[in-house]
Structure 1
Amino acid sequence: MGEAQDFEQRLKEVADRVTVALDQLIPPAGGPEADLMRAMRHAALANGKRMRPFFLLETGAMFDAPEKTLLRAAAALECVHCYSLVHDDLPCMDDDDFRRGQPTVHKAFDEATAVLAGDALLTLAFKILASSETHDDASVRALLIERLADASGARGMVGGQMIDMLESDSPRDLNTITRMQRLKTGALISYATEAAAIIGRAREAERNALAGFSNDLGLAYQIADDLLDATGDEDAVGKPLRTDDAAGKANFVTLLGIDGARERVSILAAQAKEHLAIFREKAHILLQSVDFVLDRTH
Structure 2
Amino acid sequence: MNIKEFISQKAEVINEALSDYLPAKNEKPKTLSQAMRYSVLAGGKRLRPVLTLTVATELFAKQEETVLPAAVALEMVHNYSLIHDDLPCMDDDNYRRGKLTNHKVFGDAIAVLAGDALLTYAFELLTQLKGDFTAEQVVEVNRELAQGAGWQGMVGGQVADIIAQGNSVSSEELEYIHSHKTGALLKAAVRIGGILGEADAEELAALTVYAQNIGLSFQIVDDILDIVGDEEKLGKDIGSDLDQEKATFPEVYGLEESKSMAREKIATAKEALSIFGEPAQPLLALADYIVARDY
What is the TM-score of this pair, normalised by structure 1? 0.95
Cα separation, partners in 2 of 1:222 and 1:132, compared to 1, 3 Å: closer
Query: Could you tell me the percent identity over the aligned residues?
Result: 39
- 2:156 is matched with 159
Indicate whether 1:278 and 2:254 are aligned: no
Cα separation, partners in 2 of 1:259 and 1:69, compared to 1, 3 Å: same
Q: Tell me how far 1:297 sits from its aligned partner.
A: 5.5
- 2:209 is matched with 212
- 2:32 is matched with 36
Indicate whether 1:228 and 2:228 are aligned: no
Indicate whether 1:78 and 2:112 are aligned: no
Alignment of 1:90-105 (within 5 A): 90-105=87-102
Query: 2:69, 2:128 within 8 Å by CA — same for their partners in 1?
Result: no
Q: Give the letter aligned to residue 35 of structure 2.
A: A
Residues 180-226 of structure 1: per-residue CA shift (max 9 Å, x gap): 11111011111111111111101111100000000011101111111
Q: Tell me how far 1:85 sits from its aligned partner.
A: 0.2
Cα separation, partners in 2 of 1:169 and 1:141, compared to 1, 3 Å: same
Could you tell me how far apart the structure 1 residues matched to 2:98 and 2:42 are? Answer: 8
Cα separation, partners in 2 of 1:275 and 1:136, compared to 1, 3 Å: closer
Indicate which of 252, 259, 265 corresponds to 1:262: 259
- 2:42 is matched with 46
- 2:11 is matched with 15
Q: Tell me how far 1:174 sits from its aligned partner.
A: 1.8
Could you tell me how far apart the structure 2 residues matched to 1:167 and 1:262 are? Answer: 22
Range that drifts further, 165-174 or 207-216? 165-174
Indicate whether 1:58 and 2:54 are aligned: yes
Query: 1:72, 1:134 within 8 Å by CA — same for their partners in 2?
Result: no
Partner SS, residue 169 of structure 1: coil
Query: 2:25, 2:37 within 8 Å by CA — same for their partners in 1?
Result: no
- 1:189 is matched with 186
Q: Tell me how far 1:133 sits from its aligned partner.
A: 6.0
Q: Give the letter aligned to residue 204 of structure 1.
A: A
Could you tell me how far apart the structure 1 residues matched to 2:27 and 2:183 are? Answer: 38
What is the TM-score of this pair, normalised by structure 2? 0.96
Query: 2:229, 2:294 within 8 Å by CA — same for their partners in 1?
Result: no
Could you tell me how far apart the structure 1 residues matched to 2:27 and 2:193 are? Answer: 38
Query: 2:83, 2:115 within 8 Å by CA — same for their partners in 1?
Result: yes
Could you tell me how far apart the structure 2 residues matched to 1:157 and 1:58 are? Answer: 22
Query: 1:262, 1:297 within 8 Å by CA — same for their partners in 2?
Result: no
Could you tell me how far apart the structure 2 residues matched to 1:64 and 1:90 are? Answer: 40
Q: Tell me how far 1:117 sits from its aligned partner.
A: 0.2
Q: Give the letter aligned to residue 74 of structure 2.
A: L
Task: Give structure 1 stretches of 5+ with no counterpart.
Answer: none
Indicate which of 99, 112, 116 corresponds to 1:115: 112
Q: Give the letter aligned to residue 5 of structure 2.
A: Q
Could you tell me how far apart the structure 2 residues matched to 1:272 and 1:287 are? Answer: 8
Q: Tell me how far 1:247 sits from its aligned partner.
A: 1.0
Could you tell me how far apart the structure 1 residues matched to 2:93 and 2:230 are? Answer: 16
Give the number of equivalent residue pairs. Answer: 294
Query: 1:58, 1:286 within 8 Å by CA — same for their partners in 2?
Result: yes
Could you tell me how far apart the structure 1 residues matched to 2:200 and 2:161 are? Answer: 35
Query: 1:128, 1:134 within 8 Å by CA — same for their partners in 2?
Result: no
Indicate whether 1:176 and 2:185 are aligned: no
Divergent runs of 4+, >4 A: none
Q: Give the letter aligned to residue 67 of structure 2.
A: L
Task: Give structure 2 stretches of 5+ with no counterpart.
Answer: none
Q: Give the letter aligned to residue 10 of structure 1.
A: F
Q: Give the letter aligned to residue 30 of structure 1.
A: N
Q: Give the letter aligned to residue 205 of structure 1.
A: E
Residues 48-84 of structure 1: per-residue CA shift (max 9 Å, x gap): 0001111111111110123222211100000000000
